[in-house]
Amino acid sequence: MKYTPSTVSLCLCLFFGHCFSWMLLPCLDRAFAAENELSKSEDEQRLDTIRYGTETEIAALIQTLKSERTGNQSSLQSKSEHTLDEALIGVSQNTRNQNILSGVLSFFADRDKKGLEQRAIKAIEEREDEANETVLAAIEYLGKIKASAALMPLEQLLDAQEQGFMGAAFRALGRVASGGSAQDKDVTAAYLADFYTNRNPPDASRRDIILALGDSGSPAGVSLLSEIAANNQERGALRMTALEGLAKIGDSTGLEAILQALSSTDPNVRSTAVTALGPFSGKSVDDAILESFRDSYYRTRIGAASAAGTRKLIEAIPYLQYRAERDEVPAVRDEAIKALGAIGNPQAQAILERLFTERKHAERIRIGAAEMLLLNNPETYTEKVITELDDAKKTNRTGLYNGFLKALSETKTKRVETLVRRLLNSGGVIEKSYALDMILGNELRSLAPEVRPLMTDEKNTGLARKARNILEHFGLE
């Protein structure tokens, strides 16, 4: 066969074209894969990470989800979050990977999210096959969600007296019992009291048992708690925990031990005792609270204010006013203002209004007073707080401005609508985030058109996600 120049050229073109196509195919495959990945939504990519990712990738995703949850003021769960939770539950049921399972249990515990109860119980019952960190995460999770099915497994774990798990198991047992029936509470309290009295628990576990007795909420634990609280020879930390437990239970048979602890030479015990008086009543209680306002130890004064607020003790109003205006410790002033808000009668409200409106007061005092006024009477005070908010911005008092803005973001009234529109139109990222909180908290559906553009804010994905969740909540996906 005779080859002409044109034939040779054609053959060469076909040969090099064939070679080039084989070289090009991997590049095209990568390009198509990248394009396919980009076409997936953020939620779809996250689902792929849960289904196919390594423990490192899943752990990084969980940390991202935690951060987003922290930045979102509402407890609203979107459909996408629910889908991700279901996927995490699915992967947890079939893995023994320590990092994945511990991470998911911790993530669910932080949010009181149910769905992993059986897997957590399995981790406890088959703990020889699990890492210690996984077992501890399972115990913490069961206590946080108060899973009643965990009572027996937790007691069995404690009976085994494996030191590495005992503290966490005692604490979880008390929490689980608190969410159960009266019988569950009493049986658990009896178990804990017997363990403390008859099994010679290590010192490291004694405080955890006392804490669990209080958390159980059962009167069956009052006798032991009273004995510890009133014992001047007992360690201060144990007495304080016992006093807190007596307050949680609130049974009148524990009152005498609390009153005795008020005369302790340990100022921390005194301060805990006066705080514990909150749930109780009677002249002896009132007199003890009022007298505690004179204590030189600041924590005792905080305890007195807290107890006065809990009991709505009107006789304490002059003491609270004095502390709110003049106490040398800011934390005492804060607690006094909260107590005035808790009492909430006209006399207390008038004092709070003066603390808020008189600009000579410290910013912290004015912000605290505004919070209480908005909590008790938002319809009356919303406009007044907005006026002071604008003045703070005009005079460049950033701390005061942010404090008033946060207080307004938690207010339940539709009177914030005008402010919300302004923040959405001209505010920064933080202001818009607070505006979204007000929209959700007050069901301001009329502002949906202003919310929708935020969904496409590429510079702030957290703000976009919050806007999307709100519209989804309103049924306006």
Q: What was the pLDDT predicted at 457?
A: 77
Tell me which residue of 75, 76, 83, 15 sits closest to 45, measured CA to CA. 83
Range name among 8-12, 198-202, 226-230, 410-414 with the lowest pLDDT average = 8-12
- Average confidence (pLDDT) over 12-21: 49
pLDDT tens digit string along 193-249? 999 999 999 888 999 999 999 999 999 999 999 999 999 999 999 999 999 999 999
Q: What was the pLDDT predicted at 75?
A: 52
* Residue 104 exposed, middle or buried by CB count within 10 Å (0-12, 13-18, 19+): buried
pLDDT tens digit string along 33-77? 444 444 567 788 989 998 898 888 988 898 888 877 765 545 556
Range name among 98-102, 189-193, 226-230, 409-413 with the lowest pLDDT average = 98-102
Type and span of the H or E element at 53:
none
Q: What was the pLDDT predicted at 460?
A: 83
* Residue 32 exposed, middle or buried by CB count within 10 Å (0-12, 13-18, 19+): exposed
> What sign results for the dihedral spanned by CA atoms 117, 122, 124, 125?
positive
Q: What was the pLDDT predicted at 34?
A: 46
Tell me which residue of 419, 338, 434, 473 sits closest to 73, measured CA to CA. 434
Best-predicted range by mean pLDDT (404-408, 448-452, 471-475) = 404-408
Return all residues near 8 (Cβ < 8 A) that are at least 6 apart. Answer: none
| Token pair belonging to 337 | 């203002």
Give the Cα separation of 400 and 347 in Å (integer): 25
Residues in the chain: 477
